[in-house]
Structure 1
Amino acid sequence: MSASEIASRHFAAALAEAKAAGLDDDGVCRSLLGLIVAKYLETRSVSDVQSELHFLADNCDPDADFAFMRP
């Protein structure tokens, strides 16, 4: 099993548990993102974590090509 498969399974379970508790997806996502950032900061510099988050934010549009892709 890959890291992505493990993460996807746990993410789906967290969303299902939140729904059963009457909580919204945004709250769960925000909480998980905070946990991820905190974990990153245990071994990575603030600027490195910021760079990672900026890259993800800059490239989150599923309909757009990555800036570094050639046409």
Structure 2
Amino acid sequence: MGVHKWAREELEQSLQHAREQGFDSALSLRALLSAVVERSRLQRDTADLAAELQFLADNLDDERDYGFMRP
């Protein structure tokens, strides 16, 4: 199993546990994201982390064509 598959499975388990606790899924995802960013900040340069987060934010639209893609 790759690390990305492992992370997705862990996320699903965390969300299931949050639902069992009565937490809203959207709020739970925001809290998890904040916790991941906070922890990542301890291990990575702030500018590097910010650049990765900006890249992820810029590429949220699955329907968007990107300049680096070939037709």
| TM-score calculated relative to the size of structure 2 | 0.84
CA deviation after TM superposition for structure 1 residue 23, in Å? 1.0
Partner Cα distance (1:66, 1:16) in 2? 34
Gaps of 5+ in 2: none
Partner Cα distance (1:67, 1:40) in 2? 29
Partner Cα distance (2:64, 2:23) in 1? 31
| TM-score calculated relative to the size of structure 1 | 0.84
Identical counterparts, % of pairs:
35
For residues 1-71 of structure 1, the aligned pairs below 5 Å read 1-71=1-71
**Letter paired with 1:26:** A
Partner Cα distance (1:15, 1:42) in 2? 24
Q: Post-superposition, which runs of at least 4 consecutive aligned residues in structure 1 deviate over 6 A?
A: none
Partner Cα distance (1:27, 1:67) in 2? 34
1:36-56 deviations in Å (ceiling 9; x for gaps): 112221222211111101100
**Letter paired with 1:4:** H
1:1-55 deviations in Å (ceiling 9; x for gaps): 1101111111111111111222111121111111211222122221111110110
